[in-house]
Structure 1
Amino acid sequence: MTEKIKRELPDLKGEYELSKEQIAAYQEDGHICLRAVASEEEIASYRDAIHQSVQRHAEKLAPLEERDTYGKAFIQVMNVWEHSEDVKKFVMAERFAKIAADLLGADGVRIYHDQALYKEPGGGHTPWHQDQTYWPVDTSKTITMWMPLVDVTDQMGSMSFASGSHKQGYISKLGISDESHRTLGEYIDQNGYKQVTYGAMKAGDATFHYGWTLHSAPGNPSDSTREVMTVIYIADGTKVAEIDNEARANDLKQWMPGLVTGDVVNSPLNPLVYHKTKKADEK
Structure 2
Amino acid sequence: MHASSRHGTVAAAAPARGGRGGRDRRPKRADAPDWAKPPARGKQRDFKNEQRAAGGAEKTRQDTPRATTSRSERGVRASEVLRAVAPRTSAKAFEDVSRGTTVLFDDPREVTLEEQLHYEREGHVCIRRAVEGVEMIPMVKAVTGEIIARRLEAYRHRVSVLCPDARTTELKDVEECKRALKKHSQEDVGFLQTFNLHRNESSPAREYIMSKQFAKIAAELMGCERARIYQSCVFVKEPGMAETNWHSDLNMVPLDTNDFVTLWIPLRSLDEDDAALHFANRSHRDFALPYWRTIEGMSDLEGRYEIDTYDELDLGDLTAHHGWALHWSPPQPKDSVPRYALSVCYFADGARRLETEELRRTPHAEDEWSYETWLRDLQPGAVAKHFELPIVWP
Check whether TM > 0.5: yes
Q: Distance between the aligned counterparts of 1:256 and 1:86, measured in 2?
A: 26
Q: How does 1:65-214 map to 2 (within 5 A)?
A: 66=182, 68=185, 72-83=189-200, 84-168=202-286, 171-172=290-291, 184-189=298-303, 191=304, 193-214=305-326
Percent pairwise identity = 27
Report SS of the residue matched to 2:291: coil
2:137 alignment counterpart: 44
Moved more, 251-260 or 117-126: 251-260
Asked if the contact 2:146/2:205 (under 8 Å) is kept, the reply is: no
Q: Distance between the aligned counterparts of 2:331 and 2:297, measured in 1?
A: 19
Instruction: Indicate which of 116, 122, 130 corresponds to 1:23.
Output: 116
Kindly state the Cα deviation for residue 104 of structure 1 after the two structures are TM-superposed.
0.9
Asked if the contact 1:50/1:87 (under 8 Å) is kept, the reply is: yes
Kindly state the Cα deviation for residue 42 of structure 1 after the two structures are TM-superposed.
2.1
1:253 alignment counterpart: 372
Q: Distance between the aligned counterparts of 1:30 and 1:69, measured in 2?
A: 32
2:341 alignment counterpart: 228
Kindly state the Cα deviation for residue 95 of structure 1 after the two structures are TM-superposed.
1.0
Kindly state the Cα deviation for residue 187 of structure 1 after the two structures are TM-superposed.
3.6
Q: Distance between the aligned counterparts of 2:150 and 2:194, measured in 1?
A: 7
Kindly state the Cα deviation for residue 139 of structure 1 after the two structures are TM-superposed.
0.9
Asked if the contact 1:163/1:195 (under 8 Å) is kept, the reply is: yes
Kindly state the Cα deviation for residue 246 of structure 1 after the two structures are TM-superposed.
5.2
Asked if the contact 2:104/2:208 (under 8 Å) is kept, the reply is: yes
2:127 alignment counterpart: 34
Asked if the contact 1:256/1:269 (under 8 Å) is kept, the reply is: no
Asked if the contact 1:257/1:267 (under 8 Å) is kept, the reply is: no
Kindly state the Cα deviation for residue 203 of structure 1 after the two structures are TM-superposed.
1.6
Q: Distance between the aligned counterparts of 1:168 and 1:120, measured in 2?
A: 33
Kindly state the Cα deviation for residue 252 of structure 1 after the two structures are TM-superposed.
3.9
Q: Distance between the aligned counterparts of 2:323 and 2:270, measured in 1?
A: 23
Q: Distance between the aligned counterparts of 1:10 and 1:201, measured in 2?
A: 24
Asked if the contact 2:102/2:211 (under 8 Å) is kept, the reply is: no
Report SS of the residue matched to 2:298: helix
Asked if the contact 1:129/1:174 (under 8 Å) is kept, the reply is: no
Gaps of 5+ in 1: 1-8, 276-283
Residue 76 of structure 1 aligns with an amino acid whose one-letter code is Q
Residue 191 of structure 2 aligns with an amino acid whose one-letter code is F
Kindly state the Cα deviation for residue 121 of structure 1 after the two structures are TM-superposed.
0.8
1:11 alignment counterpart: 103
Alignment CA distance shift 1:173-1:54 (3 Å):
farther
1:195-214 CA-partner distances (Å, limit 9, x unpaired): 10111111221000011100
Q: Distance between the aligned counterparts of 1:39 and 1:117, measured in 2?
A: 22
Alignment CA distance shift 1:93-1:174 (3 Å):
farther
Give the structure-1-normalised TM-score. 0.83
Number of residue pairs the alignment of both structures matches = 260
Report SS of the residue matched to 1:196: strand
1:59-102 CA-partner distances (Å, limit 9, x unpaired): 25222872858761111001011234421111111011111111
1:98-140 CA-partner distances (Å, limit 9, x unpaired): 1111111111210101000011011111111111111011111
Q: Distance between the aligned counterparts of 1:255 and 1:122, measured in 2?
A: 35
Q: Distance between the aligned counterparts of 1:216 and 1:69, measured in 2?
A: 20
1:141-162 CA-partner distances (Å, limit 9, x unpaired): 1000000011111111211000
Gaps of 5+ in 2: 1-100, 156-176
Asked if the contact 1:31/1:209 (under 8 Å) is kept, the reply is: yes
Alignment CA distance shift 1:82-1:141 (3 Å):
same
Q: Distance between the aligned counterparts of 2:312 and 2:298, measured in 1?
A: 25
Asked if the contact 1:252/1:259 (under 8 Å) is kept, the reply is: no
Alignment CA distance shift 1:131-1:71 (3 Å):
farther
Report SS of the residue matched to 2:373: helix
Residue 134 of structure 1 aligns with an amino acid whose one-letter code is M
Give the structure-2-normalised TM-score. 0.61
Residue 247 of structure 1 aligns with an amino acid whose one-letter code is P
